[in-house]
Amino acid sequence: MKIAYTIMVLAAAFVARAEINVVPYPSSVVEKPGVFKCPAGKELRKVVKLSKDASIPHEGYRLSVTANGINVAASDKAGAFYALKTLEQLKDATSASLPCCEIEDAPRYSWRGLHLDESRHFFGKDAVKATLDQMARFKLNRFHWHLTDDQGWRIDVPGHPELIEYGSWRPYSPKRPPEGGECNKKKQVSDGKKYGPFFYMEADIKEVIAYAKERHIEVLPEIEFPGHFRAALAAYPAYACFPERIKSRCGRGTWGIEPEVMCAGNDEAIKFVEEVLDYVCKLFPFECVHIGGDECPKGRWKECSKCQARIKAEGLKDEHALQAWLTRHMVEFLAKRGKRTIGWAEYLGAGVPAEAMGMVWMGQNVPRVVSRGASEGHDMIVTPSPFCYLNHSQELKDDPYPYGGGGRTLEKCYSFDPCHGVTGDAVKHVIGGQGCQWTEYSWDQKDLEWKYWPRMMALSEVFWMGEKKPGLDDFKRRATVQREALIKDGVNAAPLP
Q: How far is the CB of 165 from Zn ion (least distance, A)?
A: 24
Evaluate whether 149 touches 166 at the Cβ level (below 8 Å). Answer: no
Which range, of 158-166, 239-247, 363-371, 459-467, touches Zn ion by CB under 5 A? Answer: 239-247
- Judge whether 92 counts as a catalytic residue: no
Evaluate whether 252 touches 216 at the Cβ level (below 8 Å). Answer: no
CA–centroid distance for 40 within its chain: 37
Q: How far is the CB of 347 from ligand ACM (least distance, A)?
A: 11
Strand (E) or helix (H) holding 290 = strand 288-292
- Judge whether 355 counts as a catalytic residue: no
Which residues, numbered 286-305, are part of the site for Zn ion (CB under 5 A)?
A: 304
Whole-Å CA distances, 115 to 30, 203, 390: 34, 21, 10
> DSSP assignment of 326-351, as one string?
HHHHHHHHHHHTT-EEEEEGGG-SSS
Using CB distances below 5 to 8 A depending on partner kind, what does residue 344 bind out of Zn ion, ligand ACM, none? ligand ACM
Using CB distances below 5 to 8 A depending on partner kind, what does residue 295 bind out of ligand ACM, Zn ion, none? ligand ACM
Q: Which residue number, 207 or 294, has a Cβ lying nearer to ligand ACM?
A: 294
Q: Which residue number, 275 or 295, has a Cβ lying nearer to ligand ACM?
A: 295
Q: How far is the CB of 331 from Zn ion (least distance, A)?
A: 21
Evaluate whether 196 touches 151 at the Cβ level (below 8 Å). Answer: no
- Beta bridge pairs of residue 63: 72, 103
Using CB distances below 5 to 8 A depending on partner kind, what does residue 361 bind out of ligand ACM, Zn ion, none? ligand ACM
Whole-Å CA distances, 121 to 26, 118, 147, 208: 36, 5, 10, 18
Q: Is 202 in the site for ligand ACM (CB under 6 A)?
A: no
- Catalytic annotation, pick one of 149, 260, 447, 449: 149
Using CB distances below 5 to 8 A depending on partner kind, what does residue 294 bind out of ligand ACM, Zn ion, none? ligand ACM
Q: Is 263 in the site for Zn ion (CB under 5 A)?
A: yes
Q: Which residue number, 213 or 306, has a Cβ lying nearer to Zn ion?
A: 306
> DSSP assignment of 154-192, as one string?
-B--TT-THHHHHHS-BS--BPPPSTTPPP-SSS--B--
Evaluate whether 428 touches 379 at the Cβ level (below 8 Å). Answer: no
- Judge whether 149 counts as a catalytic residue: yes
Cis peptide before 99 (omega within 30 of 0): no
Residues 352-371 as x/- pattern, contact with ligand ACM by CB under 6 A:
---------x----------
- Catalytic annotation, pick one of 295, 395, 399, 417: 295
Q: Which residue number, 82 or 111, has a Cβ lying nearer to ligand ACM?
A: 111
How far apart are the C-alpha atoms of 26 and 420, rounded to whole Å?
A: 22
The DSSP output letter for 436 is B
How far apart are the C-alpha atoms of 308 and 305, rounded to whole Å?
A: 5
Closest-CA residue to 123 (of 447, 451, 450, 444): 444
Q: Which residue number, 403 or 464, has a Cβ lying nearer to ligand ACM?
A: 403
Among 344, 450, 452, 475, binds ligand ACM (CB under 6 A): 344
- Beta bridge pairs of residue 213: none
Among 114, 269, 307, 316, binds Zn ion (CB under 5 A): 307
Using CB distances below 5 to 8 A depending on partner kind, what does residue 265 bind out of ligand ACM, Zn ion, none? Zn ion
Q: Is 359 in the site for Zn ion (CB under 5 A)?
A: no
Evaluate whether 153 touches 136 at the Cβ level (below 8 Å). Answer: no
The DSSP output letter for 479 is H
Q: Which residue number, 265 or 433, has a Cβ lying nearer to ligand ACM?
A: 433
Which residues, numbered 288-307, are part of the site for ligand ACM (CB under 6 A)?
A: 294-295
Q: Is 306 in the site for Zn ion (CB under 5 A)?
A: yes
Q: Which residue number, 237 or 466, has a Cβ lying nearer to Zn ion?
A: 237
Count the site residues for Zn ion by CB under 5 A.
6
Which residues lie near Zn ion (CB under 5 A)?
241, 263, 265, 304, 306-307
Which residues lie near ligand ACM (CB under 6 A)?
294-295, 344, 361
Which residue numbers are catalytic? 149, 228, 295
